[in-house]
Structure 1
Amino acid sequence: MKAKIEGREALTRKLDQMAPMANKYAAEEKLAIAKEAAAKMAAVSPPKNVTGEYKSSLQGDFLRNRKTDKTLNGSEHQPTKDADATGIFANYIWRFLEFGTKAHAGGSNRDRRYKKRVVMTKVKRGHGATRPFPHIFANWRAMRDESKKRIHLAIMRGVKEAMGKK
């Protein structure tokens, strides 16, 4: 048995030739999954946020529509080979909420000198630890397998349509 390994771009090109609607259906499904994941994450996000600003910042969208925003993993301006790649975008505080913070004790005033300029950094008091509130990765792990199935079914729907089957 022999197998030829092809890259993602070549495979996508062949799929577009055979079933042009398959990638369109997959892109629609990816966007629906990203929006659904963002809604689930927002529903279980920390309740103490009085203004609701953090909850409203959790949004699913195509990466191509958000060239200046950062995704949840912090990547910015990194091109992707997938034109239909989606991501979940949130306020920068998601990391602190997801993983919690460590307590820092207040210390003495620090004097940092940078090339004859004096920069005073004063630490008057520390802050307590915040407990982790997992709501991003826990939700994604719970829906990852189902999401893969949904994308696969969307591609198969496009292939069957191209073959003339219902």
Structure 2
Amino acid sequence: MRRLNQLAPNVEKYAADAKLKAAHQLAEEVRSRAPTGATLDYMESIDGDLLTSRPAQEQVGTRSTKDVTATGLFAKFIWRFLEYGTAPHFTTKGGGTVAGKKQAVLSQAKMHPGTQAQPHIFPIYRAMKPKIRKMILAAVNKAVREARKG
């Protein structure tokens, strides 16, 4: 990256703009296919942004990075329950532990039936990944072309 910046100083600026635009497009596509529910609250919480601008908010499927221009998809914490579904479980306090299950059975507590997986993030990301790569490469190529002209 250092050699590329020496060749074309605007590469990081153009690539950062392309990454942010791609994150917004991905968020819009995921939002359009997200489970709505009764309040649309979860669907409206999905957004694409820079990782550095939201350090404390829940990040969807990302790891830590040193790239200050890295972008990500942000959503409410329930995204993983919707994406992967849940297994049947007791709703009483401690219902997931062995002792809690025994106590829940004895008290005839309610059993949550679990939820079906509703994949709406990663299938869309996988489908859009080639387009996102092309956007970033086009931005890098644009910066290189400008550097070669000047």
Q: TM-score range by the shorter chain?
A: 0.7 to 0.9
In structure 2, what is the equivalent of residue 9 of structure 1?
Answer: none
Structure richer in helix, relative to its length:
2
1:106 Cα deviation after fit: 7.3
Unaligned runs of 5+ in 1: 1-11, 113-120
Once the two structures are aligned, what percentage of the paired residues are identical? Answer: 38
Residues 22, 46 of structure 1: CA spacing in aligned structure 2 closer, same or farther, 3 A cutoff?
Answer: same
Match of 2:42 in 1: 54
- The count of residues paired between Structure 1 and Structure 2 equals 141
Which of 133, 151, 154 aligns to 2:118? It is: 133
* 1:17 and 2:6 are equivalent in the alignment: yes
**TM-score with structure 1 length normalisation?**
0.76
SS in 2 for 1:65: coil
Pair 82,74 (structure 1): closer, same or farther in 2 beyond 3 Å: closer
CA RMSD of aligned residues (A): 2.5
Highest CA radius of gyration, 1 or 2? Answer: 1
Give the counterpart of 2:22 among 33, 45, 48.
33
In structure 2, the CA distance between the partners of 1:157 and 1:129, relative to structure 1 (3 Å rule), is same
**TM-score, normalization by structure 2:** 0.84
Structure 2: state its 5+ residue gaps: none
Q: Distance in 2 between matches of 1:13 and 1:62?
A: 22
Residues 74 and 15 from structure 1, CA distance in 2 versus in 1: closer, same or farther, beyond 3 angstroms? closer
Q: Which runs of structure 1 show a deviation greater than 3 angstroms over 4 or more consecutive aligned residues? A: none
SS in 2 for 1:157: helix
